[in-house]
Amino acid sequence: MLRDRDSLSRLENSMLAAFAVPHDRTGGREYPEPEHEYRLPFQRDRDRVIHSSAFKRLQYKTQVFVYSVGENYRNRLTHTLEVSGISRTIATASGLNSLLAETVALAHDLGHTPFGHAGQDMLSELMSEFGGFEHNKQSLRIVRLLESRYPQFPGLNLTLETLKGLMKHGAEYSTSTLGLERKQEGPSLEAQCADLADEIAYTNHDIEDGLEMGYLNLPELEEIRLWHEFSLRVKERYPNANEKVRIRTTIRELTNGMVSHIVERMRLRIEEYGILQRSDLNRVHSEGRKILGFEEDFGETVRELKSFLHRALYRHPSVVRMSDQGRDMIAVLFRYFRKHPDEIPESYKERIETEGLERIVCDFVAGMTDRYAEAVFNKLNG
């Protein structure tokens, strides 16, 4: 028997905790449109993100290592898929709306530039006098305006809950109603799942990629408390496993340990703060309390591990050299197209008059993949 949207919504809502975002109360969309006959609102949001051009381009955008280094390392797309899986796991185990958590995770890096954070930093510098640049805000700009797939509206017309989920804490999102609501309410627990899943994913997969690349030193990593604890358990459980399998097993166990810790801490805090329904979350937010997060001692060991990665991997001379090359390419491309706006695609040029040349050049350059940016750069310097 075919289930219609209302029956599906009732079924899905019956499995949610009272403080989760329900499937039938999304706040609507910026541009009203009929609901689908048998697909839930966040299900449609998720699919719209996956089918977007920006999502497909993530496969050729840098996570830590540029595409030319090799095909066995994470890129921005594989990172995003790992984040979505972890986010969905945390949400499901906690009685939250896993479709919303997954959708926010899938969209969270759409606005990332080529060449990772180095590209973002350079664009932020170049745009400092023209409204700035930040990849989380760019993700919102993409789903609200830049994607062009529907005749009825610009962007993807995602639900307001998904849009608010993409707004990061502390960022200024203008005085729009949406931005004010996000500031007053705080992020949904589902959005917080995606945020923490991002941290868990990149911390663990960067260890694996760094070791396989030879940039991380295993004996030095063994001195880091959190890694040593999980590594020791794996060695005791699988004494005959080879080193590569032990490393991958340790990473898997560490990921699971972080997720389990988050789920348990959320359960304890929900009980401690007396959260019985969604309105209680507003009270907790106004009191400045956090529901999702690591317990203090565990969090300190996570910070120690991340500090090691910053020191040993992200600041490794070869990574810094790749980052500097990416920064230089971004700067050259931005300045070139600012001087030659006639060479920008028509789909971008039509907004120059209303939004300014620099913003449109920024949109064009930020949307490039690593290899396209490199190809254009080489053509300009050929």
CATH number at residue 51: 1.10.3210.10
Contacts of 16 (CB under 8 A, 6+ apart): 22, 23, 95, 96, 97
Answer for the pair 38, 52: CB distance below 8 angstroms, yes or no: no
Q: Is 381 exposed, middle or buried (0-12, 13-18, 19+ CB in 10 A)?
A: exposed
Q: Is 307 exposed, middle or buried (0-12, 13-18, 19+ CB in 10 A)?
A: exposed
| pLDDT mean over 288-294 | 91
Query: Which pLDDT value is given to residue 68?
Result: 59
- Give the pLDDT band of residue 72 (cuts 50, 70, 90): confident
Q: Which residues is 75 bridged to in the sheet? A: 62
- Give the pLDDT band of residue 253 (cuts 50, 70, 90): very high
- Concatenating the DSSP letter of every residue in 123-188 gives HHHHTTTTT---HHHHHHHIIIII-B--SSSSB---BHHHHHHHSPTT---TT-HHHHHHHHH---
List the single range of 9-23, 132-146, 215-229, 314-328 with lowest mean pLDDT: 9-23
pLDDT in tens, 227-250: 999 999 999 999 989 999 999 999
- Give the pLDDT band of residue 15 (cuts 50, 70, 90): confident
Answer for the pair 339, 133: CB distance below 8 angstroms, yes or no: no
Query: Which pLDDT value is given to residue 266?
Result: 95
pLDDT at 372 over 90: yes
Spatial separation of the C-alpha atoms in residues 95 and 89, rounded to whole Å: 10
Spatial separation of the C-alpha atoms in residues 345 and 149, rounded to whole Å: 16
Instruction: Name the pTM for this structure.
Output: 0.93
Q: Is 244 exposed, middle or buried (0-12, 13-18, 19+ CB in 10 A)?
A: exposed
In terms of pLDDT, which residue wins out, 170 or 292?
A: 292
Query: Which pLDDT value is given to residue 82?
Result: 96
Query: Which pLDDT value is given to residue 184?
Result: 72
Query: Which pLDDT value is given to residue 347?
Result: 87
Nearest to 263 by CA among 89, 115, 134: 89
Q: Is 287 exposed, middle or buried (0-12, 13-18, 19+ CB in 10 A)?
A: exposed
Spatial separation of the C-alpha atoms in residues 250 and 230, rounded to whole Å: 6
- Give the pLDDT band of residue 170 (cuts 50, 70, 90): very low
pLDDT at 220 over 90: yes
- Give the pLDDT band of residue 67 (cuts 50, 70, 90): low
Contacts of 122 (CB under 8 A, 6+ apart): 113, 326, 327, 330, 331, 334
- For residue 169, the enclosing domain spans 5-381
Q: In 10 A of CB 149, how many CB atoms?
A: 13
Nearest to 140 by CA among 113, 107, 172: 107
- Give the pLDDT band of residue 360 (cuts 50, 70, 90): very high
Six-digit token string for 135: 């990849």
Spatial separation of the C-alpha atoms in residues 373 and 367, rounded to whole Å: 9
pLDDT at 54 over 70: yes
Spatial separation of the C-alpha atoms in residues 239 and 188, rounded to whole Å: 43
Mean pLDDT for the chain overall: 91
Spatial separation of the C-alpha atoms in residues 78 and 59, rounded to whole Å: 7
The total number of structural domains that make up the chain: 1
